[in-house]
């Protein structure tokens, strides 16, 4: 009998009796707590340790399988991960949720209270990091061996509190309560070099080689967090690197009496993985960020080489062992680093190394915003990574020769494609490096992938059309439906069978039930219960009382001008003004729920948050409004809070300016939970609308090509302001100083709209209001609304991240996924 096979020991037995015994053992023996004195947090830790045994037992078996079978593995390189709380997810995936509830219930402990204790690792900014975590979940579920490599930030994304209506940032201390999910792999440490210079030398075969002599070496230590799959024995691994000082270096300086330098080096080394940069979609050429990127990417590639050796593979066939995905350009330096490792350290010829590199990497782009495209001043780059700059020049030289052959006498094209931007100050362009070093390049929604080929990557698309592909994003239905919405999960299980979270194509079988009055009633009851729970949470967190039977109109995502939270506010204020004009105006009772973090240095985003809270202060108390409108800013939007919010949304606001949102994934999460969407033809909204049917989606606004045309013709926001009296009245109201008690408070917002309006709010205002009018009308017909809600869920199966991952496996990574049932 295998010593680690489940159910033969107390540690991994799955009966309620076994789980209870393991829990009590952990409480006493691992935590040193007598049950009578244990706090809720102790209960959480003891249960986490109990479940961790099951998880780790699976993870080691899964890993062993991978080594034995020598399968091609996937490395998902991402500077960000947002896994959310682990415990409930593991209970679901392992199929022990009910037994655990019973085990704890038997000793008077409520499982839900225990689950609420878990702090989440906020190691990402938003969509990109959450997508990485959905993909690790799906990789495990479809039984593909994978490692997600990243950084173990000590401080993740800041905690947001709202004080006097303003965002105030607090430090995220996710590790302070202990982290039972990670294993510190003391044996797995990598050295990462920085700075210094390069030298040539001659090897024993008479070849000229290059050696990098760094000015500092930093150590990366591996911390592993296993990620279970749903109903599968396979585990993904999230392997995060923490930076540490290399002792020998410290001591050297120390022994020479240079104590200050020794201390400085230690502090610098440890600072590398200290904190996540909180900018979403804004690139600033900060040296520490470049160092972070190189640090985790180098650790990851060295680790992959170690694993190749361990499973008896060959360095010269590296690409047969690994498919490496670049999650945006943040790990794109990996292209030059793999070249350095293969050529300098493993003595491969340049051309062979280059062929391996291109077969290994593929690149996903997540944004078209020019301010998000990463480029590093050549000077800075060369001082941090002198050898990589040489390698990049080497790649560029050969690449531009290839371009010259394909497009003779086209210097402008050459300049655009070059890895080095030479318009004025010189920069290394990371997107160009990622494109050249990859065999596949993909966008994250159909529209985004098309726009990529027409705009930022047009020259690469002309050169290598066959490299370009689209993989529309998806989200894990385990976390975002089964866990977040147990009421809905109950209905789905009854109608579709217990395995539905593993195969969302079965959702289609709900369609006929949209016409069934009994089912519609049950559906409404589930939704109302979700809204009651959210209402209680809103009251607890903000003090605002909201009515669960009002329409919950939800916009939760990072705060950014292009996402247009302020367009939503123009609608709210226009409703308010119409009530003030005529208190009997027929306004559907609505609760507007906003949530999301603003980058700490993003002035306008912070003003927009203040505009939400100021609108709430005005509207929520006004006797004329009589409770028909409520405006809430839900603080600290993160994965855990999102799981409470999505299932309670009636209306999902996806109102970015067309052509700006690469995909969006909150749009999928809300629709999968039964919300109807009001949205523009942007990102994945286009495909969501195609899937659910135009009649079940509130479309408005300019298309991406209309946006380009309008901008090209010289957009004049003033003309809209002058010709639409409701728009004018609403903007004048904001400018009047009636909000927030200071006439200058929102002047920057108003000025921005009237003199420039870069995201065309004024152009889309009227169409948005008309669409909102249609929302109000449908809400009045509760049966019609409910049918639409059911059809949304029934037709959203395609947006499971399992489908996305199968596409990556088939078209990009060339690895075998477990086939889907259909
Ligand atoms: C350099 C600063 C920086 C930081 C983060 C630039 C860009 C980013 C990310 C690429 C921003 C991001 O999260 N993009 C989002 O990715 C999601 C997953 O594909 C998409 O659904 C969102 O539309 C996209 O904004």
Residues 668, 613, single domain; the answer is yes
For residues 434 and 326, is the Cβ–Cβ distance under 8 A?
yes
Clarify whether 557 is annotated catalytic. yes
| Tokens describing residue 298 | 């180098």
Tokens 């009515």, residue?
Answer: 547
Catalytic residue chosen out of the listed positions 665, 680, 730, 786:
665
Q: In this model, does residue 420 exceed pLDDT 70?
A: yes
Mean pLDDT of 530-546: 98
In three-state secondary structure terms, 300 is helix
Cβ-contact 228, 93 below 8 angstroms: yes
Residues 9 and 140 in one domain: no
Tell me: do 7 and 81 sit in the same domain. Answer: no
CB 295 within 8 A of CB 243: yes
What does the alpha-carbon distance between residue 587 and residue 499 come to, in Å, rounded to a whole number? 42
Kindly report whether the global pTM for this prediction surpasses the value 0.85: yes
Rounded Cα distance, 341 and 320, in Å = 17
Would residue 482 count as lying in a domain? no
The rounded Å distance from CA 281 to ligand 1 centre is: 6
Domain of residue 769 covers 546-794
> Among the options 558, 560, 571, 795, which is catalytic?
558
Q: Is the shortest distance between the CB of 279 and ligand 1 below 6 Å?
A: yes
- The reply to whether 190 belongs to the active site is no
**Euclidean distance between CA atoms 555 and 11, whole angstroms:** 43
Q: Which of 281, 365, 687 to mutate to test the pocket of ligand 1 (most atoms within 8 A of CB)?
A: 281
Q: pLDDT digit string (tens) for 81-98?
A: 999 999 999 999 999 999
Q: Ligand 1 pocket test: which of 128, 130, 556 has the largest number of ligand atoms within 8 Å of its C-beta?
A: 128
CATH, residue 764: 3.40.50.2000
Mean pLDDT in the chain?
96
128 C-alpha vs ligand 1 centroid, how far in Å? Answer: 5
Whole-number Å distance, alpha carbon 280 to ligand 1 midpoint, is 6
Whether residue 467 lies in the annotated active site = no
Query: Is residue 429 scored above 90 in pLDDT?
Result: yes
pLDDT score at 551 = 98
Helix, strand, or coil here: 656? coil
| CA of 665, closest atom in ligand 1 | 21
Find out whether the beta carbon of 126 lies less than 6 Å from any atom of ligand 1. Answer: yes
Q: Is the dihedral of CA 459, 460, 466, 472 positive or negative?
A: negative
Supply the DSSP string of 660-707, one letter for each residue.
Answer: S-S--SHHHHHHHTT-EEEE-S-TTHHHHHHHH-GGGEEE-S--HHHH
Distance CA 96, CA 89 (A): 10
For 234-268, how does the pLDDT look when each residue is reduced to its tens digit (9 = 90+)? 999 999 999 999 976 566 666 777 777 778 888 88
DSSP H/E element including 183: strand 183-194
Task: For ligand 1, say whether the CB of 443 is within 6 Å of any of its atoms.
Answer: no
Domain shared by 672 and 648, yes or no:
yes
State the burial class of residue 644 (Cβ atoms within 10 Å of its Cβ: 0-12, 13-18, 19+). middle
243 and 203 belong to one structural domain = yes
Cα 208 to averaged position of ligand 1 atoms, centre (Å): 42
Who's near 598: CB < 8 A, 6+ residues apart?
167, 558, 559, 605, 606, 608, 609
Share of the chain above pLDDT 70, in %: 98
* Of 359, 669, 795, 798, catalytic: 669
> What is the reported pLDDT for 264?
83
d(CA 468, CA 435): 10
Band the pLDDT of 2: cuts 50, 70, 90.
very low
Model confidence at 503: pLDDT above 50:
yes
The answer to the question of residue 413 being in a domain is no
Q: Token pair for residue 84?
A: 């959310």
Whether residue 492 lies inside any domain: the answer is: no
Per-residue confidence (pLDDT) for residue 268, from 0 to 100: 86
SS3 of 437-471: HEEEEEECCHHHHHHHHHCCCHHHHHHCHHHEEEC
Q: Are residues 98 and 175 in the same domain?
A: no
Is the residue at 707 inside a domain?
Answer: yes
| Confidence at residue 559, expressed as pLDDT on a 0 to 100 scale | 98
> Ligand 1, from 124, 134, 326, 366: best to mutate by most atoms within 8 Å of Cβ?
366
Say if residue 599's pLDDT is above 70.
yes
What was the pLDDT predicted at 265? 82
Domain-embedded: residue 614 = yes
213 found inside a domain: yes
Contacts 24+ apart (CB under 8 A), 493-500: 499/231
Residue 139 and residue 10 share a domain? no
Listed in sequence order, the DSSP H helices in 333-409 are 334-340, 350-360, 378-384, 386-406
Q: Is the CB of 630 under 6 A from ligand 1?
A: no
**Interacting residues of 326 by C-beta distance below 8 A, sequence separation 6+:** 77, 332, 334, 361, 362, 363, 364, 434, 438
pLDDT at 266: 85
pLDDT at 180: 97
Please check whether residues 312 and 438 belong to one and the same domain. yes
When pLDDT is averaged across residues 552-580 and rounded to a whole number, the result is 98
> How many structural domains is the chain composed of?
3
Average pLDDT rounded to a whole number, residues 686-692? 98
110 and 203 belong to one structural domain: no
669 is catalytic: yes
Q: Which residues contact 762 (CB under 8 A, 6 or more apart)?
A: 717, 720, 721, 727, 753
593 beta partners:
554, 632
- Catalytic site residue 563? yes
The pLDDT tens digits for 23-45 are: 999 999 999 999 999 999 999 99
Given a contact cutoff of 8 angstroms between Cβ atoms, the answer to whether 529 and 673 are in contact is: no
Closest ligand 1 atom to 364 CA: 19
- 526 within some domain: no
Q: Are residues 731 and 648 part of one domain?
A: yes
Does residue 558 have an active-site annotation?
A: yes
- The answer to whether residue 279 sits within a structural domain is yes
**CB of 444 sitting under 6 A from ligand 1:** yes
282: Cβ below 6 Å to ligand 1?
Answer: yes
Does the Cβ of 131 fall within 6 Å of ligand 1? Answer: yes
Q: How confident is the model at residue 387 (pLDDT cuts 50, 70, 90)?
A: very high
What's the CA-to-centroid distance between 16 and ligand 1, angstroms?
Answer: 43
Query: CB of 244 within 8 A of CB of 224?
Result: no
**Are 149 and 38 in the same domain?**
no
Looking from the CA of residue 80, the nearest atom of ligand 1 is: 5
| Mean pLDDT score, 650-672 | 98
Question: Based on the domain organization, do 134 and 50 belong to the same domain?
Answer: no
Mean pLDDT of 259-286: 89
The Cβ-side half-sphere exposure at 297, using a 13 Å CA radius, reads 28
When pLDDT is averaged across residues 664-680 and rounded to a whole number, the result is 98
């Amino acid at each position: 009998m295998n010593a680690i096979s489940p159910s033969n020991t107390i540690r991994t037995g799955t009966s309620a009796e076994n789980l209870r015994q393991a829990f009590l053992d952990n409480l006493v023996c691992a935590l040193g707590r007598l049950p009578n004195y244990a706090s809720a947090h102790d209960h959480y830790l003891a249960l986490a340790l109990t479940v961790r045994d099951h998880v780790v037992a699976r993870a080691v078996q899964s890993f062993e399988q991978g080594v034995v079978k020598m399968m091609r593995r996937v490395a998902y390189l991402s500077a960000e991960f947002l896994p959310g709380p682990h415990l409930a997810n593991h209970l679901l995936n392992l199929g022990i949720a009910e037994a655990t509830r019973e085990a704890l219930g038997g000793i008077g402990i409520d499982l839900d209270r225990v689950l609420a204790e878990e702090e989440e690792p906020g190691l990402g900014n938003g969509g990109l990091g959450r997508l990485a975590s959905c993909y690790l979940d799906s990789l495990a579920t479809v039984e593909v061996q994978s490692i997600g490599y990243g950084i173990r930030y000590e401080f993740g994304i800041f905690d947001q509190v709202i004080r006097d209506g303003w965002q105030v940032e607090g430090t995220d201390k996710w590790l302070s309560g202990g982290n039972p999910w990670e294993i510190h792999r003391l044996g797995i440490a990598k050295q990462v070099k920085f700075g210094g210079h390069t030298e040539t030398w001659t090897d024993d075969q008479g070849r000229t080689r290059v050696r990098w002599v760094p000015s500092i070496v930093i150590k990366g230590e591996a911390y592993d967090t296993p990620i279970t799959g749903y109903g599968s024995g396979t585990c993904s691994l999230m392997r995060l690197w923490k930076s540490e000082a290399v002792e020998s270096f410290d001591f050297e300086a120390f022994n020479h009496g240079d104590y200050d330098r020794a201390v400085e080096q230690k502090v610098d080394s440890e600072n590398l993985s200290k904190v996540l940069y909180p900018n979403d979609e804004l690139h600033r050429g900060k040296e520490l960020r470049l160092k972070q990127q190189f640090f985790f990417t180098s650790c990851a590639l060295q680790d992959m080489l170690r694993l190749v050796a361990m499973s008896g593979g060959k360095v010269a066939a590296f690409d047969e062992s690994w498919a490496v995905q670049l999650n945006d350009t943040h790990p794109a330096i990996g292209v030059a680093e793999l070249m350095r490792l293969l050529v300098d350290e493993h003595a491969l010829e340049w051309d062979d190394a280059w062929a391996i590199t291109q077969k290994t990497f593929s690149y996903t782009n997540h944004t078209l915003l020019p301010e998000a495209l990463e480029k590093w001043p050549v000077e800075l780059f060369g001082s941090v990574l002198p050898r990589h700059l040489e390698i990049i020049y080497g790649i560029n030289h050969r690449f531009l020769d290839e371009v010259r052959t394909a497009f003779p006498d086209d210097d402008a094209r050459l300049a655009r494609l070059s890895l080095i931007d030479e318009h004025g100050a010189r920069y290394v362009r990371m997107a160009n490096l990622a494109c050249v070093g990859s065999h596949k390049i993909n966008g994250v929604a159909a529209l985004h992938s098309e726009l990529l080929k027409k705009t930022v990557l047009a020259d690469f698309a002309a050169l290598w059309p066959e490299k370009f592909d689209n993989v529309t994003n998806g989200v894990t239905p385990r976390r975002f439906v089964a866990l977040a919405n147990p009421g809905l999960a109950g209905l789905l299980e009854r109608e579709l069978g217990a395995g539905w979270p593993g195969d969302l194509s079965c959702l289609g079988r709900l369609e006929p039930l949209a016409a069934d009055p009994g089912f519609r009633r049950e559906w409404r009851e589930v939704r109302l219960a979700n809204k009651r729970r959210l209402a209680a949470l809103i009251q607890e967190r903000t003090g605002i009382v909201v009515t669960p039977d009002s329409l919950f109109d939800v916009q939760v995502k990072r705060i950014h001008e292009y996402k247009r939270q302020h367009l939503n506010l123009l609608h709210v204020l226009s409703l308010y003004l119409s009530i003030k004009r005529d208190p009997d105006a027929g306004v559907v009772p609505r609760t507007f729920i906003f949530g999301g973090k603003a980058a700490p240095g993003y002035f306008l985003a912070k003003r927009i948050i203040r505009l939400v809270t100021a609108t709430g202060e005005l509207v929520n108390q006004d006797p004329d409004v009589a409770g028909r409108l409520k405006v809430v800013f839900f603080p600290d939007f993160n994965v855990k809070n999102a799981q409470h919010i999505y299932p309670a949304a009636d209306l999902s606001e996806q109102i970015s300016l067309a052509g700006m949102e690469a995909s969006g994934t909150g749009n999928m999460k809300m629709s999968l939970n039964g919300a109807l969407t009001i949205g523009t033809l942007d990102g994945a909204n286009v495909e969501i609308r195609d899937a659910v049917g135009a009649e079940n989606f509130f479309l408005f606004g300019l298309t991406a090509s209309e946006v380009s045309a309008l901008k090209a013709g010289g957009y004049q926001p003033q003309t809209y302001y002058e010709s639409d009296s409701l728009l004018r009245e609403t903007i004048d109201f904001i400018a009047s100083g009636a909000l927030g008690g200071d006439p200058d408070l929102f002047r920057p917002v108003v000025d921005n709209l009237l003199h420039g309006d870069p995201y065309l709010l004024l152009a889309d205002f009227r169409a948005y209001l008309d669409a909102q009018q249609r929302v109000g009308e449908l809400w009045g017909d509760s049966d019609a609304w409910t049918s639409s809600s059911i059809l949304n869920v029934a037709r959203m199966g395609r947006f499971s991240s399992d489908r996305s991952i199968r596409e990556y496996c088939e078209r990009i990574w060339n690895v075998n996924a477990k086939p889907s049932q259909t």
